[in-house]
């Protein structure tokens, strides 16, 4: 089995909170507010940056 780069693993792991929030709204009927949507936007942006770095090979630190 080929080993995956650390950034690819981190990108996958960072999606876990997003799934937790989605399941909360779907199954427990949570009430979203503006802070939550802001936090989700930051989470998605961070995941995109990490995924892009692992897929394209561009590193933010040089």
* Per-residue tokens: 36: 């939550």
* Per-residue tokens: 28: 């427990």
φ, ψ dihedrals at 39, nearest 5°: -65, -40
Give the model's confidence band at 57: pLDDT under 50 very low, under 70 low, under 90 confident, else very high.
low
* Per-residue tokens: 32: 């979203």
Question: pLDDT digits over 4-51, tens only?
Answer: 667 667 767 777 878 888 888 889 887 888 988 898 888 888 877 777
pTM: 0.56
C-beta of residue 38 within 8 angstroms of C-beta of residue 2: no
């Amino acid at each position: 089995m080929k080993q995956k780069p650390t950034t690819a693993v981190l990108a996958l792991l960072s999606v876990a909170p997003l799934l937790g929030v989605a399941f909360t709204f779907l199954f427990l009927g949570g009430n979203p507010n503006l802070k939550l949507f802001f936090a989700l936007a930051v989470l998605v942006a961070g995941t995109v940056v990490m995924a892009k770095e692992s897929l394209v090979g561009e590193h933010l630190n040089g």
